[in-house]
Homo-oligomer: A and B are copies of this chain.
Amino acid sequence: MANITKKVSWSSRGDEPAPAGEGTPLLNGAGGAARSYSRQFSGSGIFQIGRLSTVDLEEDPAPEEESAISRPKEIPHNEKLLSLKYESLDYDNSENQLFLEEERRMSYMGFRCLEISRWVVCALIGILTGLIACFIDIVVENLAGLKYKVIKENIEKFTEAGGLSISLILWAFLNSVIVMMGAIIVAFFEPIAAGSGIPQIKCYLNGVKIPRVVRLKTLVVKVCGVICSVAGGLAVGKEGPMIHSGAVVAAGVSQGRSTSLKKDFKIFEYFRRDTEKRDFVSAGAAAGVSAAFGAPVGGVLFSLEEGASFWNQMLTWRIFFASMISTFTLNFFLSIYHNKTGELSNPGLINFGRFDSDSVEYNLYEIPLFICMGALGGLLGALFNVLNYWLTIFRIRYIHRPCLQVMEAMLVAAVTATVSFAMIYFSDDCQPLGEDQAENYPLQLFCADGEYNSMATAFFNTPERSVRSLFHNPPGSYNPPTLGVFTLTYFFLACWTYGLTVSAGVFIPSLLIGAAWGRLFGIMLAHITPYGSIWADPGKYALIGAAAQLGGIVRMTLSLTVILVEATGNVTYGFPIMLVLMTAKIVGDYFVEGLYDIHIKLQSVPFLHWEAPATSHALTAREVMSSPVTCFNRVEKVGTIVDVLSNTSTNHNGFPVVTRVMDDDEPGKICGLILRSQLIVLLKHKVFVERTRSRLNQRKLQLKDFRDAYPRFPPIQSIHVSQDERECMMDLTEFMNPTPYTVTQETSLPRVFKLFRALGLRHLVVVDSENRVVGLVTRKDLARYHLGKHGLEELQLAQT
């Protein structure tokens, strides 16, 4: 059982066929090698770590004995660690001779065509994302409709005859079965498709390579999974996963091929590198948001706020374009589906309905109330996050087998159904069934004829519809106790649900919780104030509460404001929503981070924040860098290269190329930087000096060869190099990046950080005053430092 943690960790499955024993206990304390790290680190000064971090940088298949020694039931978790498992993406072009030659050959028209094809790709991304959203929406509507119809008929049958427990069992059974299907495909086929995918996309845009995150298989599992979990009645939304889906679509379309399907369309070959791909993934994420909420501008802002660091005007417009197309496509096809072709009135998956102009006004003296609601949202959000944090740690420790995960998901589904049923059963909140009632499945239950159970509106419905009825149902549709009990139960249900091994988002449950207590708040206000009329619309407070709760959980401000404004279709509430989100963020941040950040941290991802920690000016590149560095000569022996690449204990990905070193002790002068992936392509094509001499007619290696291998470069083990070939020489001049960015040893950490982050680097070479290589700074070296409670803290690196 080497796959103990396989399903828990995002990147549990290696990208490449790795040697046996790849799965390693998530963190140290499990004995063996991991423990030895922690012992080494425990008494370590900065320098020691500096030295050590070279040894265990980058992914490293765990020592063989590991899995033999310990097969723990419980995996202790220590969040003061940084995983060495995640590789970085290279958002800085390797401008080697091949690349420059190609660029120089290209005419102005060539660049124009490239630019146009970028727009075409963005249009395709938008269309496909819109179609996926459309598909999810229609399938969920039908499945959920079918389910509720069956249960409703059953309940109605047994209401008078007695034996409602049968209905309960039917409901719980239906939910569990549907959720089980969703959980099984996620847990067994593609664990990375679990959750909303937003943390993963955040990491991807930040420059961390999360294995398998943008694969076609992930998309398929994600889409099926989200359909099952929403139709299965879990407290989840289908909006978050749309963002991930959009990103996968973008990564696929922009490459003009599918590695999974082994189909290469031979188009968009220029875009086969990390830099270009990232830009399209931003566009895809934006298109996803846009389709989910009908918020194209919000999508762009989401992409920028959560992802991009370098704001480029042209890129932003393309992202915007993709977002527009996505909403439009969704709108268009949904209008056909609803037989209202041409009426573009379904802007997104979630439609908050239109707020009437009369009821949307607010007054100055309501602003303190909004701020209070924001603070409340921040508090509740922090509580939610803390609970979910503990739960996630529990899950990491104990629920790491796929079958356990599926069982947990089924349990949650059954409990959700049971709780809902109990709520509806014990509720005595009967409301008259109006003519224009938007309830799709009004449950009469024990109410008088012509009335329906109001608790059922909230529970016996898809969450999207519940949100809408909380916003728009006329005053008096809900009793305060109904709302209070609903808030309480749904809060814990949603908290339990997030982090299950199903594809699901947290947006809608958050909105629902917030809308419930917001409406409650509004009703209470109307009770205690003498004014009467101005407080008459609890829907307004429901909206503010929804914003506060969501803001308190995810802690976005700018993009969320725009998303909510676009989703409600009314900017009058723009200012209150902003205020509320800002307050919720400030209050919430006082206690704990946002939900996504918590999950990123729990995975020990080397995530780079916007700036270096404030008090890190005392550190310089010398202390931060890894050293000594493995370097290559300009013309290097093939044997040496193969040996270095095969060395599993180092497993570096970038190698400075230096001028020939006479004395081994003295570091060489830097003259370039070459990547593992490039070396592997060179070895595969056997680009040896001797060969080019002997066989002049051999085809020269082109950029195309590198692009064809991107992004799944074969592992070094798969490349056979004979003993003769090991004696050959390889000339790296043409393939290395001759102008890597360098810094001197005295450069302060914030300065290094700024350079690294702004340019999206993967390797930054540290040189001395003679331009000799003395160290290498990678993502992990920078992400290690963070501001803790006691000032600057240093995370330990570990093979989690």
User: When chains A and B are docked, how far (Å) is the Cα of A669 from the Cα of B678?
Assistant: 33
Q: Which residue of B103, B296, B787 contacts A575 across the interface (Cβ within 8 Å)?
A: B296
Q: A316-B305, A787-B108 are in contact. Are A743 and B739 (CB under 8 A)?
A: yes
* Chain B residues, CB < 8 A from A571: 565-566, 569-571
Q: Which residues of B contact A769 (CB under 8 A)?
A: 659, 669, 671, 771
In the complex, the answer to whether A748 meets B100 with C-beta atoms within 8 Å is: yes
- Residues from chain B with Cβ under 8 Å of A314 in the complex: 610-611
Q: Does any Cβ of B come within 8 Å of A185's Cβ?
A: no
Q: Is A327 an interface residue (CB 8 A)?
A: yes
User: Measured between C-beta atoms, what is the minimum distance from A549 to chain B in Å?
Assistant: 19
Partner of A364, one of B107, B317, B342: B342
Collect the chain B residues with CB atoms within 8 Å of residue A106's CB.
615
| Contact between chains at B343 and A614 (CB < 8 Å) | no
Closest B residue by C-beta to A788: B108
Q: Mark A321-361, 1 if CB is under 8 A from B, else 0.
A: 10010011000100100000111110000000010110001
A-B contact pairs, 11 of them (CB 8 A): A100-B748, A301-B301, A304-B304, A310-B758, A311-B311, A312-B610, A324-B578, A335-B364, A354-B357, A357-B357, A569-B572
Output the least CB separation between A310 and chain B (Å).
6
Does A492 reach chain B (CB closer than 8 Å)?
no
On whether the beta carbons of B742 and A738 are closer than 8 Å, the reply is: no
| Chain B residues closer than 8 Å to A659, beta-carbon distance | 769
Most buried by B among A615, A758, A767: A758
* Cβ contacts under 8 Å, A754 to chain B: 759
- 7 tightest Cβ-Cβ pairs between the two chains A and B: A342-B364, A103-B617, A111-B614, A739-B747, A311-B311, A758-B758, A104-B618
A697 within 8 A of B: no
Interface residue stretch chosen among A39-47, A48-56, A224-232, A555-563: A555-563
Q: A108-B614, A308-B311, A324-B579 are in contact. List 18 more A-B contacts (CB 8 A).
A: A104-B617, A111-B615, A296-B574, A304-B311, A312-B611, A314-B611, A317-B557, A320-B557, A320-B558, A321-B582, A343-B361, A344-B364, A357-B357, A569-B572, A659-B769, A739-B743, A739-B746, A771-B771
Interface membership of A798, Cβ < 8 A: no
**Which residue of chain B has the shortest Cβ distance to A314 in the bound complex?**
B610
Asked if A265 lies at the interface with its beta carbon under 8 angstroms from chain B, I say no
Of chain B, the residue at the smallest CB distance from A114 is B614
A339 CB to nearest chain B CB (Å): 14
Tell whether A663 is near chain B: CB-to-CB under 8 Å: no
Q: Which residues of B contact A342 (CB under 8 A)?
A: 363-365
The 8 Å CB contact of A744, one of B328, B615, B739, is B739
Chain B residues closer than 8 Å to A562, beta-carbon distance: 297, 562
Instruction: Give chain A's interface residue range (CB within 8 Å of chain B).
Output: 35 or more
Q: Is residue A770 contacting chain B, with contact meaning CB distance below 8 A? A: yes
Contact in complex: B316, A343 (CB < 8 Å): no
- Interchain nearest-CB distance for A751 vs B (Å): 6
Residue A313 at the B interface, CB < 8 A? yes
Inter-chain CA distance A299–B245, complex, in Å, is: 31
Q: Are A316 and B747 closer than 8 Å at their CB atoms?
A: no
Which residues of chain A (74-125) have a CB below 8 Å from chain B?
93, 95, 100, 103-104, 106-108, 111
Contact with A356, one of B95, B300, B301, B357 (Cβ below 8 angstroms): B357
Q: In the complex, which residue of chain B has the Cβ closest to the Cβ of A791? A: B108
Q: Which listed residue, B320, B332, B574, touches A578 by the CB 8 Å rule?
A: B320
Which residues of chain B are within 8 angstroms of A305 by Cβ–Cβ distance?
A: 313, 316
In contact, B575 and A327 (Cβ under 8 angstroms): yes
User: Is A407 close to B, CB under 8 A?
Assistant: no
A203 → chain B closest CB, angstroms: 16
Q: What residues on B are CB-neighbors of A304 within 8 Å?
A: 304, 311
Most buried by B among A300, A570, A617: A617
Which one, B313, B748, B759, B791, contacts A610 given CB within 8 A? B313
Interface residues of A in 283-314 (CB under 8 A from B): 296-297, 300-301, 304-305, 308-314
A362, CB-defined interface residue at 8 Å: yes
Report the copy number of this chain in the oligomer.
2
Q: Which residues of B contact A361 (CB under 8 A)?
A: 343, 345
Contacts of A617 in B (CB 8 A): 100, 103-104
- State in angstroms the CA–CA spacing of A106 and B614 once bound together: 9
Contacts of A744 in B (CB 8 A): 738-739
Contact among B566, B746, B771 for A738, CB-based, below 8 A:
B746
Measured in the bound complex, the distance between the Cα atoms of B335 and A718 in whole Å is: 74
- A615/B758 in contact, CB under 8 A: no
Quote the shortest CB–CB distance from A270 to chain B (angstroms). 12
* Contact partners of A644 in chain B: CB under 8 A: none
Q: Across the interface, name the chain B residue whose C-beta is closest to A621.
A: B739
Q: Which residues of B contact A362 (CB under 8 A)?
A: 344
A103: nearest residue on chain B (CB-CB)? Answer: B617
**A364–B332 touching, CB < 8 Å:** yes
Query: When each residue 709-748 of chain A gets 1 if its CB lies under 8 Å from chain B and 0 otherwise, what string results?
Result: 0000000000000000000000000000011011110111
Distance between A400 CB and nearest chain B CB, rounded to angstroms: 33
A671 to B745, CA, bound (A): 12
Q: Is the CB of A575 within 8 A of B344?
A: yes
Residues of B within 8 A of A611 (CB): 312, 314
Closest residue on chain B to residue A615 by CB atoms: B108
A636 to B79 CA separation, bound complex (whole angstroms): 52
The distance from the CB of A326 to the nearest CB of chain B, in whole angstroms, is 11
Known contacts A558-B300, A575-B327, A769-B669; A755 and B751 CB within 8 A of each other: no
Distance between Cα atoms of A108 and B357 in the complex (Å) = 48
CB-based contact A569/B570 at 8 Å: yes
Complex CA gap A610/B311 in Å reads 9
| Distance of A698 from chain B, by nearest CB (Å) | 27
- The CA of A357 and the CA of B341, in the complex, are separated in Å by 20
- Report B-chain residues with C-beta under 8 Å of the C-beta of A308: 311
Which residues of B sit under 8 angstroms from A771, Cβ to Cβ? 767, 769-771
- What residue in chain B is nearest A572 (Cβ atoms)? B569
Q: Which of A545-592 contact B (CB under 8 A)?
A: 557-558, 561-562, 565-566, 569-572, 574-575, 578-579, 582
Complex alpha-carbon distance, A425 and B460, angstroms: 68
Q: Measured between alpha carbons, how far is A614 from B570 in the docked complex, in Å?
A: 41
- List chain B residues, Cβ under 8 A from A317: 557-558, 582
Q: Which residues of B contact A767 (CB under 8 A)?
A: 771
Within the complex, what minimum Cβ distance (angstroms) separates A335 from chain B?
Answer: 8
**Which residues of A, 673-721, contact B by the 8 Å Cβ criterion?**
none
Nearest CB in chain B: distance from A362 CB, A: 7
B558 touches A297 (CB 8 A): yes
Closest B residue to A789 using CB positions: B108
Smallest CB-CB separation from A670: which chain B residue? B769
B324, B343, B356, B755: which contacts A741 (Cβ < 8 A)? B755
Cα of A614 to Cα of B301 in the assembled complex, Å: 27
Q: Are B312 and A558 in contact (CB under 8 A)?
A: no
In Å, the complex CA distance between A739 and B741 comes to 13
Residues of B within 8 A of A748 (CB): 95, 100, 739
